[in-house]
Amino acid sequence: MGNVIVVTSGKGGVGKTTSTAAIGAALAETGKRVCVVDFDVGLRNLDLVLGAERRVVYDFINVAQGDAKLNQALIRDKRVETLYLLAASQTRDKDALTDEGVERVIGELKASFDWVVCDSPAGIERGALLAMRFADTAVVVCNPEVSSVRDSDRIIGLLDSRTRRAEGGSRIDKHLLLTRFDPNRSARGEMLSVADVLEILSIPLVGIIPESEEILRASNIGAPITMNAGASLAAKAYKEAARRLAGEPVPLAMPSEKKPFFSRLFGRRAA
Amino acid sequence: MNAQIGRTSAIQIGARSLLAFALEPKAPLAEWLATLDEWLSRSPSFFAAKPVILQMGGLDIPLKEYRDLLGQLARRHIRVMAVENTHRLLVGPHLPPVVSGGRVVSPDKLLDEPAPAAQTPAAQTPAATAPAAPAPELAAPLPPQTLYHEGNLRSGQQIVHLEGDVVVVGRVASGAEIVAGGSIHVYGALQGRAFAGVAGGGEARIFCREARAELLCVGEAFVTAEDMDSKFEGLPIEASVEGGRVKIRVLN
């Protein structure tokens, strides 16, 4: 049986879809069968980030409502052959999904994939709750800023109360993925530090993704960052995060600030 | 003498989209049936020979009670042709088939004359939304009607018009969708999905000023953006169906 990961955050724009695509691709590149599922019904984007928007015929809603078979709706990536996408519907809303429909589809996916990575919509409403409901593992995506951290805290509370696992008395595995991190700005106090975020959220850190221009470029091209700029720092960070999720002990290095020469000279005065 | 090997003839499978009444039984069933009877006493043959679908979402009953319900309805001349949202245990070879994806329309679409407002105490039941007067027979198929949409159709918006053609004077954005019983005309860029001819018949076509569609479907044939020849990209085109496949040609 496969493992179901939900990528969630509460807040919008922190990098859930980018992270879903990157982690999904990184896991698939290790040879595991991976399906990324877009739960953002009505505002789908995962198909764009994966470059599959021109191949969508059936979607998640069609499968959940029994209008199409899962095999008809799965879109296989052309670059990594063990990576599949189940797209969301753009013309429907979150009410089109029922608990029973989602449970059945997730059950079918678990039976044929090693990893099912669910891209949650932003917010704490029905769509986000359904995305997390049947998950075994959660990746909480957070930016180093106060509003994102507070929203993540709220989501962690929901992960501990509103998931099937939580209701059954067990716990969902939660991991923190810190995205858009800039060590220099963090050092200057313009961003929260890794320690600040960890202190507030107190869940294990699975990766720190540095702020990177490559990410926007990759999204616009329609390729996960791990494929488009595999050697970039962000891609490496995602690949390592995926390995940690798979249970491999990979040491996590704290990104150090790279001080330019002038700030080293005048750093003392500035402080 | 050798056995003659004949050519196997293909079976023609068509598809239809129809209107049916949807009844939603509510617990307690005895009470619901009593309300139905009261209503039927005024129009005894209302449902006779009409397609009826049971909407079972609000009801969780065992198989035996379900069979009883079907029997009770049959005694009232209500023949259930299919059920929606039913429990998976209530499905079987001798039970009505399960349907999904039904679109809600006003019941008067099924009738010749507009339905007067229901004014019975049973106004809560779905049956009461149908007219209280003795019902006329099912309407004859209406002549095709054209639906005009002025302005752009944005991502996530959808036009469903099974009764005829759809004309959009504007752009159909990526993520928008048009479903038409007849043909589709887009006087602008078609970047979303277009389903023409869903009411059957292979005559329907899709026309657009600028072809950038995610999906073109005519009748039962479709083609995704990926499988379209890129030479049509951005050009005015006509899509029709020929030999079971979508055929695209440039309009110039």
Question: Which phi and psi angles does B161 have, rounded to 5°?
Answer: -140, 95
> Of residues B59 and A42, which shows the higher confidence score?
A42
CA distances from A92 to A95, A104, B60, B101 (A): 8, 19, 26, 12
Q: Do B176 and A91 touch (CB under 8 A)?
A: yes
So what's the pLDDT on residue B61?
Answer: 83
3-state DSSP call for residue B122?
A: coil
3-state DSSP call for residue A259?
A: coil
So what's the pLDDT on residue A177?
Answer: 97
**Tokens standing for residue B219:** 């009748």
Which residues of chain A are within 8 Å of residue B215 when distances are taken between CB atoms? 56-57
Averaged confidence pLDDT in chain A: 92
pLDDT tens, B174-205? Answer: 999 999 999 999 999 999 999 999 988 789 99
Residue A13: burial class (beta carbons within 10 Å; 0-12, 13-18, 19+)? exposed
CA distances from A30 to A25, A33, A119 (A): 9, 9, 20
pLDDT tens, B74-123? Answer: 878 788 888 887 777 777 777 888 787 777 776 655 654 433 333 333 33
Q: Is there a contact between B22 and B55 (Cβ–Cβ < 8 Å)?
A: yes
Which residues of chain A are within 8 Å of residue B177 when distances are taken between CB atoms? 90-91
Task: State the distance between the two ends of chain A, measured CA to CA, in whole angstroms.
Answer: 54
Query: Which of these, A86, A89, A109, A119, lies nearest to A19 by C-alpha position?
Result: A119
Rounded to an integer, the average pLDDT of A247-265 is 71
Distance (Å, whole) CA A243 – CA A16: 18
So what's the pLDDT on residue B49?
Answer: 65
Determine how β-strand B215-218 pairs with β-strand B221-224: antiparallel
Q: Which of A57, A66, A91 sits opposite B156 (nearest CB)?
A: A91
Out of A47-51, A264-268, B83-87, B226-230, least confident range: A264-268
pLDDT tens, B21-72? Answer: 788 888 888 888 888 887 777 666 667 667 788 888 777 888 888 888 888 8
Q: Do B225 and A54 touch (CB under 8 A)?
A: yes
Q: Is there a contact between A43 and A89 (Cβ–Cβ < 8 Å)?
A: no
Question: What is the distance in angstroms between the Cα of A142 and the nearest Cα belonging to chain B?
Answer: 28
* Residues contacting B160, CB < 8 A, separation 6+: B103, B179
So what's the pLDDT on residue A268?
Answer: 46
Q: Do B175 and A56 touch (CB under 8 A)?
A: no
The residue of chain A nearest to residue B222, with distances taken between CA atoms, is A57
pLDDT bucket at B9, cuts 50 / 70 / 90: low
So what's the pLDDT on residue B109?
Answer: 59
pLDDT bucket at A265, cuts 50 / 70 / 90: low
Q: Which of B158, B176, B224 sits opposite A54 (nearest CB)?
A: B224
Question: What is the distance in angstroms between the Cα of A91 and the nearest Cα belonging to chain B?
Answer: 4
pLDDT tens, B232-241? Answer: 999 999 999 9
So what's the pLDDT on residue A226?
Answer: 94
Residues of chain A contacting B, Cβ within 8 Å: 42-44, 53-57, 65-67, 90-91
Which contiguous run of DSSP H or E holds residue A20? helix A16-29
Which contiguous run of DSSP H or E holds residue A243? helix A233-245
Distance (Å, whole) CA B107 – CA B139: 12
